[in-house]
Amino acid sequence: MKIYISIITIIGFLFQCSGQVSSENKLIKLNRLKIGNIKPMSGEHNPPYSKIKQYTSMEEALANKESVIRLYLNPKRVSRGIPKSITELKNLEELVIRGGLVKIPDFITQLKNLRRLYLDNNSFSKIPINISELKKLEVLSIAENTIDQSPDFLGEIKSLKILNIADSGINKLPENIGNLNDLRILNISHTNIASLPESLKKLKKLEKLDIEGTKIKSILVSLADLPLSKLPEKGKEINGIDNNSNPLDIKILNLNNKDLVEVPLEIKSYKNLIELDLSNNQLLDIPEWIGELPNLEILDFTNNRIKKIPESIYKLKKLRYLYFSNNQLNFLPESIGKLKSLERLNLHENQIEKIPNSIGLLINLEYISFSGKIKLPKTFRNLKKLRNIGVKPQVILENSEEIRRLNLNEINLSESGLTEFPNWVLDMKSLVKLFLTKNKIETLPDLSSLSNLRVIDLCSNNLNSIPSSSVKNLKNLKLFVYNNNNIVGYEDYDKQDEINALYPDLYIIFHKHDKRRHR
């Protein structure tokens, strides 16, 4: 049985004219997994719905009864309820109603060909108990409602492959959930569910389980494929499970924000684990056996109280992302250089005072962050794939000789007390984004050597005229920010028009409250 604790992430770029622009492309965790947006799995439906016309009004649908397979009803159209005429759509397979619905009529079960039913973000409190009569129903999404009935009906919809009850008011999974033999994805995030029923282990096809924002803390205990007699007694610690039992084939495990004070010993058995998230806990140390998880690619210990990285972690030859931000590390050992596959290393908000020479051996590293005034070793220049560095601007300035030799895409020198443009930046041909906000720069040099530059931010400096000549050869420039400077006089609008003529698609931010895109 495969269990995935799902995390959906997006990489976001946040622009602010505040001197607080982050140079790190953070992974932002979404609060809720939207089942309707998951890419359909192979065999989930036939034919592909994305290629089939979606009707958006009952009038049009009733005029084409035999052709209607997909129907989306506007919330304003269903405020008085779903019209009974919908039962005339005998071939309907997908129905979407998000917002405005206060009641689901019993006659909806007459849609015998219905396969996908999305009723998120409505106001109904009851589901017809005969919904199990929809023998072909594969997807049921009733997130963000206020359901107050017994959830036993869920276990009766035996054709389900995807079930989303996130933030639905349901506070308990029924024991008969184990009847859903074809269930692949189960989303119970942001509910008051505190435990998982024993029958859940019967779901042999289950691949993704989202428990984000629930009260479940003993996920390993709840899902251990053991007879009831071998489960820990009530109140016993989570790592009391018999580790000689057959472990689940877990690939992705999220134990974020579970108040853990130690890494559960059960994880040691999960040899196929690819991603392990133990962020936002109270961990003090990391067990040596962490190096016995040979397939780990992503390891997240963000926001704990860890003081030391164990030597065994460097046995993880496949490790690509390693997150240790906001801990109590004061030392980074030379053995860090053994992680040849590492692409991201987050060490921000620790007490590390020195970066070892072996850092230059991380030939695949694309991003690194750390805090404090650290002197970079000369080997740092060997990081040819490094594209971004998350450090304070002062660290960049103090290590400019090493920084200038890198192929960085982004440099943030905001609020660093600069009185003139740092000319060494002109050697960085690969730069795409350059942030110089809240300095005291008065003039700009010719920036034509930065031919890849797409974003330049000069907000809140001492420029007294628009530097049109400095940017006239930057053919890739898309965002040019120079508001909050000392620019006065209408003649500068002519320079702005000059820039606009060169770059018709350029987005220019000039005055403090003036955002205008010239064409």
Give buried/exposed letters for 228-244 (b at 16+ CB in 10 A, else e).
eeebbeeeeebbebeee
Evaluate if residue 252 carries a pLDDT over 50.
yes
Give per-residue pLDDT as tens, 317-344. 999 999 999 999 998 989 999 999 999 9
Q: Which part of the chain has CATH 3.80.10.10?
A: 1-31+212-226+246-407, 41-180, 409-519
Give per-residue pLDDT as tens, 450-482. 999 999 998 999 988 776 777 777 888 888 888
Give me the half-sphere count of Cα atoms (radius 13 Å) on the Cβ side of residue 512: 7
* Distance separating alpha carbons of residues 295 and 51, to the nearest angstrom: 38
The CATH classification number of 41-180 equals 3.80.10.10
What the block records as the tokens of 502 is: 């060169």
Evaluate if residue 512 carries a pLDDT over 50.
no
Residue 85's pLDDT is what?
Answer: 94
CA angle 172, 177, 178 (to 5 degrees): 135
Evaluate if residue 38 carries a pLDDT over 50.
no
Query: Do 117 and 137 touch, CB atoms closer than 8 A?
Result: yes
Residue 360's pLDDT is what?
Answer: 94
How far is CA 468 from each of CA 98, 443, 450, 480, rounded to the nearest angstrom? 49, 11, 15, 11
What is the enclosing helix (H) or strand (E) of 380?
Answer: none
Domain range 1-31+212-226+246-407, CATH architecture: Alpha-Beta Horseshoe (3.80)
Query: Do 185 and 163 touch, CB atoms closer than 8 A?
Result: yes
Q: What is the distance, to the nearest Å, from the Cα of residue 63 to the centroid of all Cα atoms in its chain?
A: 42
| DSSP per-residue string spanning 62-121 | HHTGGG--EEE--GGGSTT---GGGGG-TT--EEE--SS-----GGGGG-TT--EEE--S
Residue 436's pLDDT is what?
Answer: 92
Residue 236's pLDDT is what?
Answer: 24
* Distance separating alpha carbons of residues 106 and 149, to the nearest angstrom: 15
Give per-residue pLDDT as tens, 77-100. 776 788 899 999 999 999 999 888
Residue 18's pLDDT is what?
Answer: 42
Give per-residue pLDDT as tens, 262-282. 998 888 888 889 999 999 999
Where residue 170 falls (left for φ over 0; alpha for ψ -120 to 50; beta otherwise) is: beta
Residue 259's pLDDT is what?
Answer: 83
122-131, 219-228, 314-323, 406-415: which has the highest mean pLDDT? 314-323
Residue 3's pLDDT is what?
Answer: 36
Give per-residue pLDDT as tens, 146-158. 988 888 888 999 9
* Distance separating alpha carbons of residues 171 and 165, to the nearest angstrom: 10
Residue 400's pLDDT is what?
Answer: 87
Topology of 409-519 in CATH? 3.80.10
Cα of first residue to Cα of last residue in the chain, in angstroms, is 57
More reliable by pLDDT, 387 or 215: 387
Residue 239's pLDDT is what?
Answer: 28
More reliable by pLDDT, 41 or 33: 41
| Closest C-alpha among 199, 177, 194, 176 to residue 186 | 177
* Distance separating alpha carbons of residues 308 and 311, to the nearest angstrom: 9
* Distance separating alpha carbons of residues 29 and 391, to the nearest angstrom: 22
Residue 14's pLDDT is what?
Answer: 31
pLDDT band at 494 (very low <50, low <70, confident <90, very high): low
What the block records as the tokens of 102 is: 């206060």
Give per-residue pLDDT as tens, 200-248. 888 888 878 888 778 776 555 444 433 222 223 322 222 222 333 344 5
Percent of the chain residues topping a pLDDT of 90: 42
Entry pTM: 0.63
